[in-house]
Structure 1
Amino acid sequence: MNMPVRPTSGLAVTSLVAGILGWIMLPVLASLVAVVTGHMARSEIRRANGAIEGDGMALAGLILGWINLGLVVAVILFFVLFLGGLAALAAFLGVAGSA
């Protein structure tokens, strides 16, 4: 009747904690850690054939990390394109205004 307790992957816990920290404190660094450790944890769990738990935590860390990295890239692209567009417009108007 007593079921043996399966240990939880430390990498899965690290992935989840880093994924949460990516949204709170360190967006890029913690999200990269969440993605890397999440993939490592899922690989470790698959290789253990059910001896280790934590696939859900690893998946949650992966999802949090990838979404946060995607948002960071989108924000950077927005600012580069927006400011680049403003610089191009200013250059165009400066040339057109002096003629």
Structure 2
Amino acid sequence: MESQQNQVNGKAIAGMVLGITAIIIPYAGFILGILGIIFSIKAMNEIEQYGQQGRGLAITGLVTSIISISIYALIILFFVIVGVFVTA
């Protein structure tokens, strides 16, 4: 049985997968990005607290989730601006 220090944090893996899929999957990416940020932050706290592995995975999940949310925020902002100018 592995000790807790040698285990890779499962939330770090989940955060990374959610962050990457948030960039790839349209429409649901915004929600997946938010979930990716939550999982990644929780993973980083657990990694520090329990001395687990997976800090790089958690950081990757955090960065990709932030990028995906930023992309979707820009897309929404673009449509709002276009909508304002079209109706004006």
TM-score by length of 2: 0.87
Q: State the alpha-carbon separation in 2 of the partners of residues 21 and 81 from structure 1.
A: 27
Q: State the alpha-carbon separation in 2 of the partners of residues 54 and 82 from structure 1.
A: 42
Aligned residues with identical type, % of pairs? 27
Gaps of 5+ in 2: none
RMSD over aligned CA atoms reads: 1.4
Partner of residue 67, structure 2? 67
Gaps of 5+ in 1: 89-99
Q: How do residues 12-31 of structure 1 correspond to structure 2 at under 5 angstroms?
A: 12-25=12-25, 26-31=28-33
Partner of residue 53, structure 2? 53
TM-score by length of 1: 0.78
Between Structure 1 and Structure 2, whose CA radius of gyration is higher? 1
Count of residue pairs the alignment pairs up: 83
